[in-house]
Amino acid sequence: MFGLQSEQVMESRIMSATRLTVPKTLKLFIGGKFPRTESGRTLTAKAPATGAHLAHYCRASKKDLRDAVTAARKGADAWAASTPYLRSQILYRLAEMLESRAANFAGELAEATGCTTEEARAETAAAIDLAVSLAGWPDKLPAVFGSVNPVAAPYFNFSSLEPAGLVVLFAPDRSALFGPVALICAALAAGNACILVAGDAFPIPVIALAEAIATSDIPSGVVNVLTGKRAELIQTAADHHDIDAIVDATGHGETAAVLKAGTAVNLKRVHQWSLVGGITPYQLLALTETKTTWHPVGG
């Protein structure tokens, strides 16, 4: 009896004691894992309204970007070789993961960006809806944009779509959740592996998205996420010969100029996207290559 009372007293003291919070250090997402930056550098995210400390997050280096390229290249071939139907199912699974954590995403979005709760909920809902919409496109793209071409010879001529390969995505500073979801889902729907470079202003929702991706069915290396100072990574992305395409959704003229000048040497494609209104099928088409095949009639 005495022992039971002692346990109850101890439990009461534990429950009433003030406990310390466990501050979170936000890491990068490379190859399906969450490593710290190789440079050891971090930045501090603060609440816009109060200036309160929210979290430390990694300041990715050029070496981190090169590591992400290596990881993405390993995942690119398997993702491209998977059936469009399977890619649709996996993207829909990601939408399910976002839906199950919608309240958490909205709370983090409001805290990190200073928007209202209603605005955060609206952006979260729009991001989830877009993910569901893009999940329906992997097996539609070949039907809509592929073709049998008429030729004046005894041949069949087929045009089919293949993924561009490895795409680097520069996220906008605003639209801290909708923008990254739109870019990542567009790249995946077209069959590409990708590296998302988060906007400088609000990294917390992007890492929360990476945590959802890590628990989805997306294979390791297919999606990689870097945070930090975008300006430090732009030139490396433009110069890297193992990157096939770049999507710039920042809306910054200086960023566009650096990318265009850098990619003039290796001829990789650079697209400037506005994410207002979501993603169109023609934007997905821009992240593919058209392959044309000739086949003799009756062969």
User: For each of the chain's 299 residues, which pLDDT tens digit applies?
Assistant: 445 556 665 555 555 557 777 777 899 999 999 999 999 999 999 988 888 889 999 999 999 999 999 999 999 999 999 999 999 999 999 999 999 999 999 999 999 999 999 999 999 999 999 999 999 999 999 888 888 778 877 888 888 889 999 999 999 988 999 999 999 999 999 999 999 999 999 999 999 999 999 998 999 999 999 999 999 999 999 999 999 999 999 999 999 999 988 888 888 899 999 998 899 999 999 999 988 887 788 75
Predicted confidence at residue 1, as pLDDT, reads: 45
Q: How far is CA 242 from the centre of its chain?
A: 19
**pLDDT digit string (tens) for 180-198?**
999 999 999 999 999 999 9
How many angstroms separate the Cα of 197 from the Cα of each of 169, 206, 215, 255? Answer: 6, 9, 20, 13
Predicted confidence at residue 2, as pLDDT, reads: 45
In a domain, 222, yes or no: yes
In a domain, 255, yes or no: yes
Quote the pTM value: 0.90
- CB count in 10 Å sphere of residue 173: 17
- Summary mean pLDDT of the chain: 90
In a domain, 97, yes or no: yes
In a domain, 243, yes or no: yes
- What sign results for the dihedral spanned by CA atoms 246, 250, 253, 258? negative
In a domain, 158, yes or no: yes
Residue with tokens 């290396």: 221
Task: Determine the length of the chain.
Answer: 299
Instruction: Give the C-alpha separation, 32 to 211, whole Å.
Output: 10
Predicted confidence at residue 67, as pLDDT, reads: 97
In a domain, 276, yes or no: yes
Per-residue HEC secondary structure of the chain comes to CHHHHHHHHHHHHHHHCCCCCCCCEECCEECCECCCCCCCCEEEEECCCCCCEEEEEECCCHHHHHHHHHHHHHHHHHHHHCCHHHHHHHHHHHHHHHHHCHHHHHHHHHHHHCCCHHHHHHHHHHHHHHHHHHHCCCCCHHHHHCEEECCCCCEEEEEEEEECCEEEEECCCCCCCHHHHHHHHHHHHCCCEEEEECCCCCCHHHHHHHHHHHCCCCCCCCEEEECCCCHHHHHHHHHCCCCCEEEECCCCHHHHHHHHHHHHHHCCEEEECCCCCCCCHHHHHCCEEEEEEEEECCC
In a domain, 148, yes or no: yes
Determine contact, residues 177/112, Cβ cutoff 8 Å: no
Rounded (10°) CA dihedral 190, 192, 197, 201: 20
In a domain, 6, yes or no: no
Q: Are strands 155-163 and 288-296 parallel, antiparallel or unpaired?
A: antiparallel
**pLDDT digit string (tens) for 110-157?**
999 999 999 999 999 999 999 999 999 999 998 888 887 788 778 888
- CATH for 84: 3.40.605.10
How many angstroms separate the Cα of 188 from the Cα of each of 168, 235, 242, 252, 266? Answer: 12, 24, 18, 24, 23
Predicted confidence at residue 11, as pLDDT, reads: 59
Rounded (10°) angle between helices 102-113 and 204-214: 160
Instruction: Give the C-alpha separation, 274 to 13, whole Å.
Output: 56
Number of domains in the chain: 1
What's the domain range around 246? Answer: 25-296
Residue-wise burial string across 264-281, b where 16 or more C-beta atoms lie within 10 A, e elsewhere: eeeebebebbebeeebeb
Predicted confidence at residue 262, as pLDDT, reads: 87
Predicted confidence at residue 17, as pLDDT, reads: 59
Which amino acid is present at 129? D
